[in-house]
Chains A and B, each alone.
Chain A
Amino acid sequence: MAVEAGKRAGSIDGVDLQALFKEAGLAAFVAFGLAISVVGVRTVTIPGGLGLEYRWEWVVIAVAAVFIGRFVLAFRRETRSPARRAEREATMDRIGAGVQKVARIAGPLLFIFAVALPWMPFSNRYIVDIATLVLTYIMLGWGLNIVVGLAGLLDLGYVAFYAVGAYSYALIAIHFDLSFWICLPLAGLFAALFGVLLGFPVLRLRGDYLAIVTLGFGEIIRVVLLNWYELTRGPDGLSGIPRPSFFGLPFSRRVQEGSDTFHTFFGIDYTSMQRIVFLYYLILALALITNFFTMRIRRLPVGRAWEALREDEIACRSLGINPTNTKLTAFAIGAMFGGFAGSFFATRQGFISPESFTFVESAVILAIVVLGGMGSQIGVVIASVLLIGGTELFRELEQFRMLAFGGAMVAIMVWRPRGLLAHRDPTLRLGAAAKGGGP
């Protein structure tokens, strides 16, 4: 034993400590380079302009943290056997499948919770607002899930359809004075039309190329909105977008002569919560429609064709599936739901400008879909709650919020590279009767 230890200086349990130190040192060196500029200097206002404040202790802390963290990670990696690693992966898969099963029971529970949320004792305006925001992203995630998760078309410009929906809603509502319930389908239709317009030229592209073109499309839409001043009022944005009404009953304190408002019609006192709660239920309904539609269409031939197309396009062609039409329907339907969500956004905010439709939005929606597990409906819900709700709740962290966001993403990519819930159930089964004695 002593001889063994003597042969390889500094090794514990057969782990080469020297290599670990080297690895951790390298990571610390990289961290040092980054830390100098990121946390080492800070701009402060001094009399007569901006000055620099040096914070070397922060650099030391960052480098030490990276060194120790890397060392511990590497040490654990070395000491853990590969068998246990595989076992853990299998466990995670089982958990994924389990959650999917539980989702069947938890889905209705979640639904009841969502319906009851505004009436919960702990709920207040802030919570309902966050829930509305989360539901908007859930809806966007479900819409994008059709394109990315089911049809396998990587779309980095999904926010374009969100923007088209929002602007078409706003413009129609402002100029033609139509009610929300007429503008909503029109906005969805417009977005779907843009989906087809984008779809046609990019159908031949796959993977990275498709991603780049859709990214460009998203930017084009934003730049057009920014520069077409006569129509969109450019960076000034559109304001005074009509608020939705409860089947013709507006939510307003002041009652106009000869017409009812929501509170006078029902004979209750006016509170500003009424509109907030109504908006919450509105997005809940829209999101549920999206979910219902997706679940349903997955079991239809077109939904199966989307998934087949994601798996192997050549095989699809050999089976007589028209890839152009199939991809276009995926693009159009995904865009339509993006458009619905956009109209909701416009009517909720009452003001829209191109600022709201930057690439970051696309990235967040895509992150929700990918982190949730491509094609998983409940995964989108969990990812939205974590990403949107989480970042809202951790507002106290201020500028480190995005750091936490990035850290969470990296952690998920390390532990669950295929997303949180990457388990797929077949859309139909042959049934137990045919299985016989088989396992």
Chain B
Amino acid sequence: MSLAEAAPMSPKIVVPSGARPLLTVEHLTMRFGGLVAVNDVSFAAGDAEITAIIGPNGAGKTTLFNCLTGFYKPTVGRLSLDHGERQFLLERMDDFRIAQKAHVARTFQNIRLFPAMSVLENLIVAQHNALMRASGYSVFGLLGIGGYRQAESDAVDWARYWLEQVNLVDRADDNAGDLPYGAQRRLEIARAMCSRPVLLCLDEPAAGLNPRESAELNALLTYIKEKHQIGLLLIEHDMSVVMEISDHIVVLDYGSKISDGTPEFVRGDPAVIRAYLGEEEEDEIPPEVAADLAGEAPPGGEGEGR
């Protein structure tokens, strides 16, 4: 298998801004029995960019994430992650190897922290692999020789840095399960970042947050992108988050990609409006969009009925 050959196979898939593609998804299809959850989706996510994946409920966004992070094995398709010096074909890797070797971190739609462990411990567990090496796979650590002590204090410093970013330093020694909902969401992002990812996948990070918390989240994600120069992949329903911080939006509907481009492009894309608003509710569509729609498809058509 030659990874170098694999990359230039489909030159058409590019990032709209022209940035270097970090993640390239080609013809991804995921079937569960007769149900096609993701249908031939291709797109590229740029390095140091925020790529949002949006779409109505059941559009296949989380399935796409689960394929990316190895929790599902895609039926068809290629998922290549390009670090610059190394390339990884994610569809061939186990879930924990994707996190360990390819450095893809993720958060979950329903928060998955380690509730009975302290906030700090949550962040230290995220640095497991580096610490494991430092402790000589526990052998030297048990005997108290080698540089484990130093490695652990470095890990705590790194955790403290992320606690500062998510504003949780004063809760560091509390159990993660005792935090309020919004803080748990922030902690999950901090935990993912503690594993030093090159691609961070966030599954609805703004779900259940109030407007102020949403604004803070926007600032945090933008900070991560600009300061740490990593790619972010974001599933989100909250359009105030999506439109404000995304560099690139991919829209899914019924498992298929219906639009792909900059926020401005997607906002005006008739296919997106159709998917989100449906065609019956014409009165809610702004007049200029309605005029566009009239040219594309007859109003009130049966084709898109749901």
Chain A residues in the interface with B (C-beta under 8 A): 293, 296-297, 300-302, 304-305, 307-308, 311-312, 314-323, 329, 424, 426-430, 434-436, 438
B40 at the interface (CB under 8 A from A): no
Known: A311-B113, A320-B96. 19 other contacts (CB 8 A): A293-B142, A300-B135, A301-B125, A301-B135, A302-B138, A304-B124, A311-B116, A311-B117, A318-B99, A319-B105, A319-B126, A320-B128, A320-B195, A321-B128, A424-B116, A426-B117, A426-B118, A426-B120, A430-B172
| B158 CB-CB contact with A under 8 Å | no
Contact A438 B170 (CB under 8 A): yes
In whole angstroms, how far apart are the Cα atoms of A322 and B70 in the complex? Answer: 13
Do B121 and A312 touch across chains, with their CB atoms under 8 A apart? no
Q: Which residues of B contact A296 (CB under 8 A)?
A: 141-142
- Choose from A301, A314, A322, A428 the contact partner of B112 (Cβ within 8 Å): A314
- Residues of chain B with a CB closer than 8 A to A293's CB: 142
Q: What would be 11 A-B contacts, judged by CB atoms less than 8 Å apart?
A: A301-B128, A314-B108, A315-B113, A315-B114, A318-B95, A318-B112, A319-B195, A320-B100, A321-B125, A434-B169, A438-B170
> Do B113 and A312 touch (CB < 8 A)?
yes
| Contact A315/B96 with A293-B142, A300-B141, A320-B128 known, Cβ cut-off 8 Å | no
Kindly list chain B residues whose C-beta atoms are within 8 Å of the C-beta of A315: 108, 112-114
Q: How many residues in B have their beta carbons less than 8 Å from beta carbons of A?
A: 48
Contacts of A317 in B (CB 8 A): 70-71, 95-96, 99
Please provide the chain B residues from 184 to 198 with a CB less than 8 Å away from any CB of chain A in the complex: 191-192, 195
In the complex, which residues of chain A have a beta carbon less than 8 angstroms from the beta carbon of B241? none
Task: Decide if B57 is an interface residue (CB 8 Å cutoff).
Answer: no
Interface flags for B159-171 (1: CB within 8 Å of A; 0: not) read 1100100000111
Q: B17 an interface residue at 8 Å Cβ cutoff? A: no
- A427 and B135 within 8 A (CB): no
Q: Are B173 and A426 in contact (CB under 8 A)?
A: yes
User: Contacting A430 at CB < 8 Å: which of B105, B120, B142?
Assistant: B120
B268 at interface, CB cutoff 8 A? no
Separation of A426 and B124 alpha carbons in the complex (Å): 12
Closest to B140 in A: A300
Give A323's nearest chain B residue, CB to CB: B96
Chain B interface main SS type: helix
**Which residues of B, 61-104, contact A by the 8 Å Cβ criterion?**
69-71, 95-101
Contact B156 A311 (CB under 8 A): no
B106 interface hit (Cβ, 8 Å): yes
User: Known: A297-B142, A300-B142. Contact between A319 and B170, CB under 8 A?
Assistant: no
Cα–Cα, bound, A314→B69 (Å): 11
How far is the CB of A167 from the nearest CB of chain B, in Å? 28
State A103–B144 Cα separation when bound (angstroms). Answer: 24
Complex alpha-carbon distance, A322 and B128, angstroms: 10
> What is the bound-complex CA distance between A312 and B30, given in angstroms?
25
A434/B128 in contact, CB under 8 A:
no
Report if B282 contacts A (CB, 8 A): no
Chain A residues positioned under 8 Å from B173 (CB to CB): 426, 429-430, 435
Question: A438 vs B167: C-alpha distance in the bound complex, in angstroms?
Answer: 13
A415 to chain B, nearest CB (A): 21
Q: Does B132 contact A (CB under 8 A)?
A: yes
Residue of chain A at shortest CB distance from B111: A315
- Min CB gap B227→A, angstroms: 21
**From residue B203, how far is it (CB to closest CB) to chain A in Å?**
10
Min CB–CB distance B99 → chain A (angstroms)? 3
A308 to B118, CA, bound (A): 11
Q: In the assembly, what is the distance between CA of A325 and CA of B132, in Å?
A: 12
Judge whether A435 and B125 touch: CB under 8 Å.
no
- Which residue of B114, B135, B191 has the most chain A CB atoms within 10 A of its CB atom? B114
Q: Which of B70, B128, B142, B156 contacts A319 (CB 8 A)?
A: B128
Quote the shortest CB–CB distance from B18 to chain A (angstroms): 31
The reply to whether A429 and B120 form a contact with Cβ atoms under 8 Å apart is yes
Question: What is the CA–CA distance of A321 and B122 in the complex, to the nearest angstrom?
Answer: 13
- Cα distance, A323 to B71, chains bound together (Å): 13
From residue B132, how far is it (CB to closest CB) to chain A in Å? 5
Contact between chains at B114 and A312 (CB < 8 Å): yes
Q: Are A305 and B128 in contact (CB under 8 A)?
A: yes
Cα–Cα, bound, A347→B83 (Å) = 58
**Least Cβ–Cβ distance between A98 and chain B, in angstroms:** 18
Counting chain A CB atoms within 10 Å of each CB, the highest count among B115, B128, B137 belongs to B128
B26 at the interface (CB under 8 A from A): no
Complex: A323 Cα to B128 Cα, angstroms: 12
Q: Are A302 and B132 in contact (CB under 8 A)?
A: yes
- Which residues from chain B contact A314 at a C-beta distance below 8 Å? 71, 108, 112
A6 to B117, CA, bound (A): 56
